[in-house]
Amino acid sequence: MTFELKSPIAQYSLVTLSYWAFTLSDGALRMLVVLFFHQLGYSPLEIAGLFLLYEFFGIVTNLYGGWLASAIGLTITMQLGLALQIVALIMLAVDNSLLTVAYVMVAQALSGIAKDLNKMSAKASIKSLVPADAQGQLYRWVALLTGSKNALKGLGFFLGGWLLAMVGFQAAVGLMAAILALVLAASLLLLDRSAGIAKRRQHFSSLFSNNSAINRLSAARFFLFGSRDIWFVVALPVFLQSQLQWSYLQVGTLLALWVIGYGIVQAAAPKLTGKTFATRGAVTSGYNHPPSAASAFNWVVLLCLLPAAIATSLFFSADNSFWVATSLVLGLLVFGALFAINSSIHSYLIVAYAREDGASLDVGFYYMCNAAGRLVGTLLSGWVYQSSGLIACLLISSAMLLATAMISRKLPDQTCPG
């Protein structure tokens, strides 16, 4: 028996709450795994290896998850993601002697599949809840969902560390599994299960988009997220610890606060990117007007030179640890704010560009490219830092952003190409 919520706002609210609960568990689990396995004596390389299948299956899930959602519906796909996360958490709630590298990698693989099923479904479902002529509302809802997700992921970092200290690893993952089970039960009772089911059967050939706007935006997303992760994921925390002698707590706090601030800026992007428009003698706030393709180009141009500027500052102040730390922290904050706006504009454009029938296919393909960019950026972050240092990572980040700008310049002006 179900008691479905009928209004779009009620559906959106429950989708968002489900996404929030999942995101908190995802952020907390990442911090729990890093801290707990470091405590058990795992090397940094072994800990990084625990997340390889997590990232790899994110690519696979985004590719095939969109096709799955078009067949069974976005709601059921999101619920499947919640169920898989519960299974992954229960797998980790075992005795320490059973937590081998291979075992944890399998659990993390399930968590990676769960994350991207949940994210793709939550974002694609918004398109079905917003009228086609309400693009300003679509932009605000996408920005709120995306921004709140990142803020809560940062909060999840704190939650994971706190739970590890208060109740221990096994109890922490068990508690999160129980809470997600309650969220899953609520979504099973209240969400519309027909959302996102394609009216026509979608074949496997539809997995790869033939829409030039989707392909260009996906390529831009690949380089955009590669530009962040090449210096943020491995190089920055290792540099802060090994070169500036920061403690684990200091590094974790900085990264958590950065992610929270990043999410807040994303949620506020409709106000930050808005302009004032005059319509028939009346002044209309840009908050009600979605960004154009030109916005994607203009904002990434602002971001493009920033990593190179940070690298230049580090090069000329290499002997002054205070100025090195100041340059990194200030540069990271500015980078985070500009990157958040770029990401929010992209997140809106993919939902706007996506086809009406089978939107999950386009969104899934786009986030597959996003996941591929993250994976490549993460691998390059470790390799380039080990071979050439943080400055090289920052310079390659700027090169990737230049590629993003060149691709974004050719995005079509219309927000709904068909």
Instruction: Give the C-alpha separation, 112 to 57, whole Å.
Output: 6
Predicted local confidence at residue 171, as pLDDT: 92
Question: What is the residue type of 20?
Answer: W
Read off the tokens for 31.
Answer: 């911090």
Instruction: Give the C-alpha separation, 59 to 244, whole Å.
Output: 34
Nearest to 80 by CA among 180, 1, 154: 180
Hunting for tokens 């930050």 — which residue is that?
272
Nearest to 126 by CA among 177, 57, 195, 181: 195
Read off the tokens for 290.
Answer: 């979605």
What is the residue-wise DSSP string for 383-403?
HHHHHH-HHHHHHHHHHHHHH
Helix 74-92 / helix 169-190 crossing angle, nearest 10 deg: 160
Using DSSP's 3-state secondary structure scheme, residue 144 falls into helix
Predicted local confidence at residue 416, as pLDDT: 43
Count of positions (residues) in the chain: 418
**Burial of 90: CB neighbours in 10 Å, binned 0-12, 13-18, 19+:** middle
Using DSSP's 3-state secondary structure scheme, residue 342 falls into helix
pTM for the whole structure: 0.72
Q: Could you give the C-alpha distances from 345 to 186, 240, 300, 340, in angstroms and in order?
A: 31, 31, 10, 9
Read off the tokens for 378.
Answer: 């993460």
Q: How many CB atoms lie within 10 A of CB 284?
A: 15
pLDDT in tens, the chain (418 residues): 445 555 666 766 777 788 788 888 888 888 788 778 877 877 666 776 777 788 788 788 877 776 676 677 777 888 888 899 999 999 999 888 888 888 888 898 898 888 888 877 776 666 666 665 566 666 776 777 777 777 788 788 778 878 888 888 899 999 999 999 998 898 888 766 655 455 555 555 555 566 778 889 999 999 999 999 898 877 888 888 788 888 766 777 788 888 888 888 887 877 777 643 333 343 444 445 667 778 889 999 999 999 999 999 999 887 888 899 999 999 999 999 999 999 888 888 887 777 665 566 777 788 888 888 988 887 888 788 888 989 999 999 999 999 999 999 988 865 444 3
CB 326 within 8 A of CB 290: no
What is the residue-wise DSSP string for 62-103?
HHHHHHHHHHH-HHHHHHHHHHHHHHHHHHHSS-GGG--HHH
Give the distance between the most distant pair of CA atoms in the chain. 72
Predicted local confidence at residue 95, as pLDDT: 87
Q: Is beta strand 282-284 parallel, antiparallel or unpaired with respect to 277-279?
A: antiparallel
Predicted local confidence at residue 255, as pLDDT: 80
* Domains in the chain, CATH or no CATH each: 1-193 (1.20.1250.20), 210-274+283-418 (1.20.1250.20)
Strand partners, 284: 277
Nearest to 161 by CA among 240, 72, 247, 78: 247
Q: Could you give the C-alpha distances from 369 to 63, 107, 327, in angstroms and in order?
A: 9, 23, 31
Q: Residue 283 carries which DSSP code?
A: E
- Listed in sequence order, the residues at least 6 apart from 286 whose beta carbon sits closer than 8 Å to its beta carbon are 273, 274, 275, 276, 277
Read off the tokens for 239.
Answer: 């540099």
Predicted local confidence at residue 182, as pLDDT: 92
Hunting for tokens 């709140």 — which residue is that?
148
